[in-house]
Amino acid sequence: MAATVEAATVETATMAATNDAGPLSGEEISLLQGWYRTMLLARAVDELMWIVGAQGKAHFILTSRGHEAAQVASAAALRAGHDYIFTYYRSMAAALQVGVAPEDVFRSVLAKRDDPFAGGRQLPNHFSVRRLRLPAGSSSVATHLPHAAGAGYAARVLGEDTVSVAYFGDGATAKGDFHEALTFAGIWKLPVVFFCENNGLAISVPVELESPAPIHLKGAGYGMPGVRVDGCDPLAVYRAMQEAVTRARRGDGPSLIEAEVVRLVAHSNADDQTVYRTPDELAAAQARDPLPRLRRRLLGAGVAEAALATWESEVRARAEAALSTAEASPDPDAADARKYLYAEA
C-alpha cells in the first residue's frame, strides 16, 4: 500500500523546488513587485488589527501574518470575480489580492454597520462578497471544503469554466469534511483546488498530532495530485497554483496543494503562544518570514532600495487611512440587534 502512495506522489509532487537563487525574468520581477505591495498591505492591516484589538475596540483578531506569500501568490493565479474562492478566517491577504478593500476588513474587525460581509454580525475576516464570488464561510473548521466541491460540481453542471478553490489549514485535513470533499471532487474529477496552508499548528496542537502522514500525500488517496511547495516563496506557490488551476479548468480534475508557511504570531488575540512555542521555535518561524525574504529577492534583482522604501511608507499610510475611514463609519443600530435571528412577522 505504502509503495502505491509513494509512486503516485513521486509522479505528481513536482513543485517543491524554490527558485530563490535563480535569475528572474522581467515578468517575474513585475509580478513579485505587485505581490510585495499586497503582502505589505496585508501585513500593515494585520499589525493595525492587533493594535485596535489591544485598545479594546475589536473583540477578536485573526491573523494572516506569515501566510501572505502563499495567499497572495495563489490568489493571483485565479480569475477574480469568475472563480469561486472559499476562504477561511486566516485568508485576509488572499482577500486583499482578489479585491477586498482594507476599509471593509477593518469594518468587519470593528463590527461596523456597513461591514459588507455581515453587517458586524460575524467574527472578523469571515469574508463574503457576492461580486467577487467569495461565499460566506463558517468558523467551524473545514466546513467550507464540501461547499467548494459543490461549487465545482455546479460549474460542471452549468458548463462553466470556473474553478473553485478552498483555503484551509493543516488541522482542517483531520476533519471528516476534508475526506468528504476530496472524495466527492476526486470521484467526479471536479474543477477544485484544495489549498492547504500548513503552518504546523492547529492553535497549539502540532501537525504531527493532527496528521499521520505528510499532508500532500493525502491527495493520492483521493485520486488527485498532491504537491508540497514552500509557502514562503511566492513564485513557487504561483507556479504550483497555476498548474492546478489549469488542470482544473481544462477538465482534468482536482488537486491538493500543501503550502508550508509560518504562523508568526499567536493563533488569535485570545491565545498565548508562549505557553506552547519555545523562543527557538518562534525565532525559526521569524527567520522564514516571507516579507523580508521577498524584499531581499527584489533588491537582488535590481529593484532600488528607494522604490521599496517608498512602497513601504505608501502602503502603511494606505492601511492607516483605511482604519481611520472604518473607525469613522457608523456603528450598528442597537434596535437591529436581533434582526435575522428569527423570522419576522
Residue 141 identity: V
Min dist. Cβ of residue 329 to ligand TPP (A): 28
> Which grid cell sits at 218?
493525502
- The residue whose grid cell reads 428569527 is 342
Contact flag: residue 80 with ligand TPP (CB under 6 A)? no
179 contacts ligand TPP (rule: CB under 6 A): no
The DSSP output letter for 250 is T
Closest separation in Å from C-beta 60 to ligand TPP? 11
Who contacts 217 (Cβ-Cβ below 8 Å, separation ≥6)?
A: 5, 9, 226
Binding status of residue 110 toward ligand TPP by CB under 6 A = no
Q: Does 24 bind ligand TPP (CB under 6 A)?
A: no
SS (H, E, C) 129-194: EHHHCECCCCCCCCCHHHHHHHHHHHHHHHCCCCCEEEEEECHHHHCHHHHHHHHHHHHCCCCEEE
In the bound complex, what is the minimum distance in angstroms from residue 12's beta carbon to ligand TPP?
Answer: 23
Nearer to Mg ion, 205 or 308 (CB): 205
Contacts to ligand TPP from residues 239-278, by CB under 6 A: 267
Cβ-based neighbours of 182, under 8 Å, separated by 6 or more: 145, 149, 194, 218, 219, 221, 222, 224, 254, 256
* Contact partner at residue 315 from Mg ion, ligand TPP, none, CB < 5 to 8 Å by partner kind: none
Alpha helices in the chain (DSSP H): 2-12, 26-54, 68-76, 92-98, 102-109, 144-158, 176-187, 234-249, 279-287, 290-300, 305-328
Question: Is position 147 an interface residue for ligand TPP (rule: CB under 6 A)?
Answer: no
Which segment (4-12, 114-122, 169-177, 179-187) binds ligand TPP by CB under 6 A?
A: 169-177
Report the sign of the C-alpha dihedral through residues 264, 265, 267, 271, in that order: positive
Quote the least distance from Cβ 314 to ligand TPP, whole Å. 29
Q: Which of 169, 164, 62 is nearest to 122 (CA)?
A: 62
Distances (CA, A) of 136 to 122, 139, 172, 183, 263: 10, 10, 17, 23, 24
Per CB under 6 A, 169 contacts ligand TPP? yes
| Member of 111, 129, 155, 172 binding ligand TPP (CB under 6 A) | 172
Residue 281, interface with ligand TPP (CB under 6 A)? no
Task: For residue 90, state whether it binds ligand TPP (rule: CB under 6 A).
Answer: yes
Q: Does 141 bind ligand TPP (CB under 6 A)?
A: yes
Hey, which residues between 142 and 181 contact Mg ion (CB under 5 A)? 169-170
Q: Determine which residue in the list 25, 139, 246, 310 makes contact with ligand TPP, applying CB under 6 A.
A: 139
The answer to whether 186 contacts Mg ion (rule: CB under 5 A) is no
Residues 181-240 that bind ligand TPP (CB under 6 A): 197, 199, 201-203
Cα–Cα separations (whole angstroms), residue 203 to 62, 71, 199, 265: 11, 19, 10, 11
Q: Binding to Mg ion by residue 64, rule CB under 5 A?
A: no
CA–CA dist 153, 151 (Å, integer): 5
222 conformational bin, left if phi > 0, alpha if psi -120 to 50, beta if neither: alpha
What does 144 interact with, of ligand TPP, Mg ion, none (CB < 5 to 8 A by kind)? none
Using CB under 6 A, count the residues that bind ligand TPP.
15
Of the listed pieces 12-20, 164-172, 273-281, 286-294, which binds ligand TPP according to CB under 6 A?
164-172
Pick the closer one to ligand TPP by CB: 108 or 199: 199
Residues lying near Mg ion in the complex (CB under 5 A): 169-170, 199, 201
Residues lying near ligand TPP in the complex (CB under 6 A): 90, 139-141, 168-172, 197, 199, 201-203, 267
